[in-house]
Amino acid sequence: MAMETAPMQLDALGASAGGLDEFRLTSRHDVMGLLKRLLDAAALLHLNTAEGAVYTTTLWTLDAASGALGLAADSHSPALQRVLESEDITVVGYLDNIKVQFDLQGLVLVHGTLSSALRAPLPRCIFRFQRRNSFRVRPLARGAPTVSLPHPMIPDMQLTLRLLDVSVGGCALLLPADVPAIEPGVRINGVDITLDADTRVRAALVIHHVSAVGSDTGAVRLGCEFAGLSGEAVRSLQLFIDQVEKRRRVLSL
């Protein structure tokens, strides 16, 4: 659960070089629109502190005129008290497969006649990321991505395998019937992933699952986890996934 509620490490995605511009919403209209979706969906929001405290709540109100938001609060919660003691609070929530993340400044607990609430200024920006390790896309047929890697049992054998689907956390590869088997648990270093003409990523792969594809082809599907990804590689994967989804939506219209 901790990995689901923990904030994305922005530095690892190249924040210092402006590499997060594609994921950052800064206009008041966009920020309010996304917050309104969180409010309407009653989405769970996880308030994370730099000290490791987490308090889970929901959006209660949005006040555009005063530039503030309200969150439901249990004033007797020890976890909430620890969050209120921190000056560094990052909120994480989900809308379908989108991870939403923003910082809260000036969070205070307000006591009413019948209940209490949290109040804070509206965030100046919000980040949107595809949900790591869960949201996979199947590349479009044209220019299908490939993965080049050495066979772990036969180092002199170089393979170029078709990539079936991909997420930021891993991918699935098609191993043809005429290629020697690859066993689960193996780590393969020096893997080159060509997503399209402009996007190439280098990583290590850990093979987690091997399953048959069809009943008589003899081919198998390798379920793989990425390891050793650089921040730039993670960013490239996120952008590729976003672009595939956008193209797929256009084609479905």
Distance, in Å, from the CA atom of 20 to the CA atom of 8, rounded to the nearest integer, reads: 11
Mean pLDDT of 83-101: 87
Phi-psi region of 135 (alpha: psi -120 to 50; beta: other; left: phi over 0): beta
Distance, in Å, from the CA atom of 193 to the CA atom of 143, rounded to the nearest integer, reads: 13
DSSP per-residue letters across 111-169: E-SS-EEEEEEPPS-EEEEEPTTT--BPPPSTT--EEEEE-SS-TT-EEEEEEEEE-SS
227's tokens? 């390891």
For 32, 96, 173, 196, 235, the CA distances from 21, given in Å and listed in that order, are 18, 22, 31, 21, 11
pLDDT at 77 exceeding the cut of 70? yes
Say what the pLDDT of residue 132 is. 46
Amino acid at 97: N
Mean pLDDT of 190-195: 92
Say what the pLDDT of residue 12 is. 56
Count Cα neighbours of 187 within 13 Å in the Cβ-side half-sphere. 6
Which residue did the predictor score with more confidence, 83 or 135?
83
Closest-CA residue to 14 (of 237, 181, 164): 237
Please state, rounded to an integer, the average pLDDT across all residues of the chain. Answer: 84
Q: Is 86 exposed, middle or buried (0-12, 13-18, 19+ CB in 10 A)?
A: middle
Say what the pLDDT of residue 70 is. 96
Q: How far is CA 104 from the centre of its chain?
A: 20
Mean pLDDT of 145-154: 93
pLDDT at 2 exceeding the cut of 60? no
pLDDT at 55 exceeding the cut of 90? yes
Instruction: Kindly report, residue by residue over 199-219, the tens digit of the pLDDT.
Output: 889 999 988 888 877 656 788
pLDDT at 1 exceeding the cut of 60? no
pLDDT at 3 exceeding the cut of 50? no
Mean pLDDT of 62-81: 93
Say what the pLDDT of residue 14 is. 54
Distance, in Å, from the CA atom of 208 to the CA atom of 222, rounded to the nearest integer, reads: 8
Strand runs labelled E in the chain: 24-25, 45-49, 54-57, 59-63, 68-72, 89-95, 98-104, 108-111, 116-121, 126-130, 146-150, 158-166, 170-175, 187-196, 199-212, 220-227
Instruction: Kindly report, residue by residue over 18-49, the tens digit of the pLDDT.
Output: 457 767 889 998 899 999 999 998 888 999 99
Domains, in order of start, for the chain: 2-130 (2.30.110.10), 146-252 (2.40.10.220)
Which residue did the predictor score with more confidence, 9 or 219?
219
Say what the pLDDT of residue 15 is. 43
Per-residue confidence at 10, pLDDT binned at 50, 70, 90? confident
pLDDT at 120 exceeding the cut of 70? yes
106's tokens? 């000036």
Check: CB of residue 55 under 8 Å from CB of residue 77.
yes
Per-residue confidence at 16, pLDDT binned at 50, 70, 90? very low
pLDDT at 17 exceeding the cut of 60? no
Check: CB of residue 36 under 8 Å from CB of residue 25.
no
41's tokens? 């969906």
